[in-house]
Amino acid sequence: MIFDGLPARTTLTKGHGTENDFVIVPDPDGALSAQLTPTRVAELCDRRAGIGADGVLHVVRTANMAGYEEQAAEAEFFMDYRNADGSVAEMCGNGVRVFALFLTARGFVKGGAIGEPVQFSVGTRGGIKRVTLKATGEQTADVTVDMGVPVFPTERGSVTVDVKGTPEPAVDVDMGNPHAVVFVDSTADAGTLYDMPTVLPAGVYAEGVNVEFAADLAPRHLAMRVYERGVGETRSCGTGACAVMIAAARRDAADTGTEYTVDVLGGRLRFVERADGHLEMTGPAALVCTVLPPLDIIPAATPENR
């Protein structure tokens, strides 16, 4: 049971960014760290027996996040991100927007008036991310994130991804987490994506990889489907869309400042590479509902209250 052993007052919130969905576990003191085992995360993310999500956003004060305390000087809160299978990931681009909205909506971070932009930093295993919330409603916001400088690792040599039975060259991009981007004529070429696409040479990504299939829709406008490490096909992946954007921008020899749009199954993300090489991603964030433990909140039915 997902609440077993958690403090009685624990509330969990469901949120999403372009339909990449998350269970948010508020735990400023880091008291739940030991209880957030891979099994518990997988139970929370189970779409039938749990709340259902692509991942968990564990909200911890950075000073209480073992190994990352040095980020506390810049970022009061740390996004401890877990994939649906319970594995740990360095970064989540959609998650960080939802995380930022949760912090402001719940008063963990002081926001301005509704509608006023709010800016602060979030700690992650992939480094500190600066977020700006705009068009903020009570449960939604448009959030711009400085996703840092994308890296094109060279140590793996050439990597391919299987597309309809043929190994096609992929672009290796590191956004804090690993991505292999393959350009296709249509995202339908990705097939069913029921299983992890074949990436060669086998085992070249020792820690696993997220695989993006990117198709041009118009100049500087692409569509993407993704198979996420630790999850499977999802409706969106923010870091994956960053990888697609920067792979396309390099292919197009685009100047910095050129705007790109990436459509995912769950919506649209917008990008610009700044002159300093940092990639800015803008997209929506939404909080859906808050889930309470079942029995201690809802009184047992009696003839009077039935």
Report residue 46 as tokens.
């189970």
Q: Which of residues 17-36 bind ligand LBFN2T5F (CB under 6 A)?
A: 20
Ramachandran bin of 133, using left for φ above 0, alpha for ψ from -120 to 50, beta for the remaining angles: beta
Neighbours of 194 (CB within 10 A): 8
**Shorter beta-carbon distance to ligand LBFN2T5F: residue 63 or 100:** 100
For residue 142, CA distances in Å to 32, 44, 127 come to 30, 26, 22
Query: Is 228 assigned a ligand-binding role in the annotation?
Result: yes
Are the beta carbons of 295 and 301 closer than 8 angstroms?
A: no
Contact of 270 with 283, CB cutoff 8 Å: yes
Judged by CB, which is closer to ligand LBFN2T5F: 144, or 239?
239
Site map 218..257 versus ligand LBFN2T5F, x via CB under 6 A: ----------xxxx-----xxx------------------
Number of residues that bind ligand LBFN2T5F (CB under 6 A): 17
Looking at residues 166 to 185 of the shown chain, list those that interact with ligand LBFN2T5F (rule: CB under 6 A). 177
User: What would the two tokens of residue 216 be?
Assistant: 């041009």
Footprint of ligand LBFN2T5F on residues 113-172 (CB under 6 A)? Answer: none
Radius of gyration of the chain (CA): 20
**Cβ-proximal residues to 289 (8 Å cutoff; 6+ apart), any chain:** 13, 14
Q: Is 45 in the active site?
A: no
Q: Is 289 a catalytic residue?
A: no
Shortest spacing between CB 94 and ligand LBFN2T5F, in angstroms: 4
Q: Which residue ranges are tagged as binding site for substrate?
A: 20, 83, 93-94, 177, 210, 228-229, 238-239
